[in-house]
Chain A
Amino acid sequence: MITAIGVDIGSLTTKAVVLDDKKIVSWAVLRSSEKTEFSARTAIEQSLQKIGLDFKIGLNIVATGLGSKTVTFSRSKSLTACLARGSNSLFPQARMAIDMGAESSTVIRINERGRVTDWQSQDKCAAGTGIFLEQMAKLIGVSMSEMDELSFQAKSPPEITNTCAVFAESEVISHIHRVPATSKEDIVAGIYRSILGRIISMCKRAGIQREVMATGGVALNKGIISVLSKELGFEILVPENPQLAAALGAAIIARETAGEKA
């Protein structure tokens, strides 16, 4: 018997998670459309269809992310609150979560009850995000997963000094066209390092407290996690489906607040 649904509307993808009274029973990830409500609905429908159910009005749903307040069939909760609850559910020992999404990254401090006690976010600049990584992969002429594998083979990564995505792009181009050209693996490693500089700054500004976990689509890149762990000096915990953390948190909140008005 499903009890709650959480949906996280991102700029690139929309994620839905369905819970019963104990665990996750279904989930779905879709490319977001321009219409928020449509994205949310479609993601929920897909996740329900997987377990043979249909969408209907009156389901217990909490939405989070972009435009979540405008979704008519759900209550809405802030992204950081959902992230914190979802993270806490995945790793109860986590006191910090680094969320790396398509267009923004956020670092949150979490207490033992899964509440946010502090956050630092970065959404003005593209560097440090999924979209930037996609662009860089295209530039170098590899797929995202190829790029990630390459990062482990770097020998002497150059310093990509520009943290601004626009300038970083031209730096990368100059590395490609250099004679002799910087190797692909070195370029990738350089990009990774410069992206994560911003993330590390946010972590320090928030005050690093272990355990630290990673969430968001970008956390699927093992190379990124490897570099991040190295920079911080300890292993970062990564759940199996890091991109679902916020949707999971939304669902948990929905389950707790069943029956409450928006």
Chain B
Amino acid sequence: MTDTTIISPNNLPEIEYFHSINRAFPGNSEIMDFKAQGKKVFGWLCTYVPEELIVAAGALPVRITGYGRETDLDDGNAYLYINNCSFSRSCFQRGLRGDYSFLDGVVGGSTCDGARRLFDVWRRYINTPFYQVLTVPRKTTDDAQALYLSQVISFKQNLEEFLGFEITEQNLLNAVELCNETRGLLKKLYELRKRLETPITGAQTLEILTASFRMPKASFNAKLKHLLVALENSPVTYKGRARLMLVGSVMDNPEFLQSIEETGGLVVTDELCTSTRYWSDPVIINNGEPVINAIAHRYLSNFPCARMYPSEERFDRIMALCRDFKVDGVISQIIRYCVPYAHDVPLLNDKMKAAKIPLLNLDVEYGSSGSGQIRTRVQAFLEMMEAHKK
């Protein structure tokens, strides 16, 4: 309990590599090399866009993100207005300023107001050759599954028309295998964090996660496999004053976790659109089922975003993670104007209270480095938890 976390780079070359991929994004070498081969790159937003279809089409799926740090968002503000989340404004500004000019297509879903308006404004002002927004139901009933499946099928058909060739069952199967492999490896990574002393910090984990959707998966998987071997018996371990879980929507700035971890807490797991929500659930193909059905099913029934109904499901999954990772306290970081997640706050507060798990609610801007006031509050949170234990 009096142990403090040792934050020092454990000199893992794969993490350094992922870091460089992230820093150079969107124009990083992996993406540029892929394009240089004459292949196509599609940008996607939200965990409700099936990456497998893009992979099956022989293209590279790349997650659209913003700058990953707090910065002037003049163009974002002018086009999306000041009251749309800084994530959507940041993404749009990058798009407007040409950072995503290499994209052959953008794909999104009717997931939340910020996302759908981002796509509306993108379509009007940025010229990306292929464009599709999928209707994503907010329920996972059979009817909803059927509707979403037909959306995914239409996505496949549009891709085929755009690219000029058919996406076969085998293509889809291979894509599922590849993406499932990524998921499996990330799962293994997280298993390591269940240990009392973990070989990897939360910040480093996020570095790995964000790279996973910024480079070809085959290359990523190979590197992660290698890294996992090194981590399995890593001599360097981390143990925090407290085992923390970070929840919220989009978080792609490892600096934020670093700031938290510098206070002595260790982030051992998380519930983020860029982490567990992204990889937790594999695509499972039932006997005789068309692969695309399995894909659609997985994506709609995925670890839910706050937009889905009932919110109970999201909370249940958070609680399960708390248990599995022996979490001492939860930190919720909600981007200002992120409406779906903001509405969950009172409900999540009650759930955590009932489970006697301390919860810290933070209002942040997308790209926050977690310094200053935030770090102070995390510090106070840890002290409060420790005092309580005594």
* A touches B in complex, CB < 8 A: yes
The answer, yes or no, to whether B74 is at the interface (CB within 8 Å) is yes
Residue pairs across A and B with Cβ atoms less than 8 A apart, 13 shown, are A197-B72, A197-B74, A200-B74, A201-B74, A201-B77, A201-B78, A204-B74, A204-B75, A204-B77, A204-B78, A205-B77, A205-B78, A207-B78
CA distance A200 to B75 in the complex (A): 10
Q: How far is the CB of B310 from chain A (nearest CB, A)?
A: 40
- Report chain B residues within 8 Å CB of A200: 74
Q: How large is the interface on A (under 10, 10 to 19, 20 to 34, 35 or more residues)?
A: under 10
Contact digits for B58-80, partner A, Cβ 8 Å, 1 yes 0 no: 00000000000000101101100
Least CB distance from A199 to B in Å reads 10
Report which B residues bind A (CB closer than 8 A). Answer: 72, 74-75, 77-78
A197–B77 Cα distance when bound, in Å, is 13
CB distance from B255 to the nearest CB of A (A): 16
Q: Tally the A-B contacts, defined by beta carbons under 8 Å.
A: 13
Q: Whole-angstrom distance between the alpha carbons of A201 and B82 in the complex?
A: 11
Contacting residues, chain B, for A207 (C-beta < 8 A): 78
Min CB–CB distance B334 → chain A (angstroms):
23
- Identify the closest chain A residue to B70 (Cβ): A161
Docked CA distance A63–B75 (Å): 36
Q: Which residues of A contact B74 (CB under 8 A)?
A: 197, 200-201, 204
| Chain B residue nearest to A201 in the complex (CB) | B74
> Nearest Cβ in chain B — how far from A209, in angstroms?
13
A residues contacting B by CB (< 8 A) are 197, 200-201, 204-205, 207
A155 to chain B, nearest CB (A): 22
In the complex formed, the residue of A with least CB distance to B79 is A204
- Closest Cβ–Cβ distance, residue B86 to chain A (whole Å): 14
CA A204 to CA B72, docked complex, whole Å: 12
With most chain A CB atoms within 10 A of its CB, the pick from B75, B77, B78 is B78
**Given A197-B72, A207-B78; 11 other pairs, CB 8 A cutoff:** A197-B74, A200-B74, A201-B74, A201-B77, A201-B78, A204-B74, A204-B75, A204-B77, A204-B78, A205-B77, A205-B78
Cα separation A200 to B72 with both chains bound (whole Å): 10
The complex places the Cα of A70 from the Cα of B129 at a distance, in Å, of 58
Which residues from chain B contact A201 at a C-beta distance below 8 Å? Answer: 74, 77-78
* CA–CA, A204 and B81, complex, Å: 11
In the assembled complex, how far is the CB of residue B73 from the closest CB belonging to chain A, in whole angstroms?
Answer: 9
A204 to B77, CA, bound (A): 8
Tell me the bound Cα distance from A230 to B167 in angstroms: 48
Nearest B-chain residue to A206, judged by Cβ: B78
| Interchain nearest-CB distance for A143 vs B (Å) | 30
CA separation between A57 and B302, bound complex, in Å?
80
Identify the interface centre among B72, B74, B77: most chain A CB within 10 Å of its CB: B74
Complex Cα spacing A197 to B72, Å: 8
- Chain B: which residue is nearest A207 at the CB level? B78
Closest to A200 in B: B74
Bound state CA distance, A204 and B74, in angstroms? Answer: 7
Q: In angstroms, how far is the closest chain B Cβ from the Cβ of A32?
A: 33
Q: How far is the CA of A147 from the CA of B263 in the complex (A)?
A: 42
Closest to B78 in A: A204
Residues of A within 8 A of B78 (CB): 201, 204-205, 207
Shortest Cβ distance from residue B367 to the other chain A in the assembled complex, whole angstroms: 14
Q: A201 CA to B77 CA in the complex, in Å?
A: 8
State how many angstroms separate the Cβ of B297 from the closest Cβ of chain A. Answer: 44
Q: Give Cα A207 to B72, complex, Å.
A: 17
A-chain residues with CB within 8 Å of residue B75 when the two chains form the complex: 204
Min C-beta distance of A1 to chain B, whole Å: 47
List of B residues within 8 angstroms of A204 by Cβ: 74-75, 77-78
Q: Report Cα–Cα, A200/B74, bound state, in Å.
A: 7
Closest to B77 in A: A201
Determine the residue in chain B with the shortest Cβ distance to A161.
Answer: B70
Chain A residue numbers with a CB within 8 Å of B72 are 197
| Shortest Cβ gap from B197 to chain A (Å) | 38
Q: How far apart are B113's CB and chain A's nearest CB, in angstroms?
A: 21
Give bound CA distance, A204 to B75, whole Å. 7
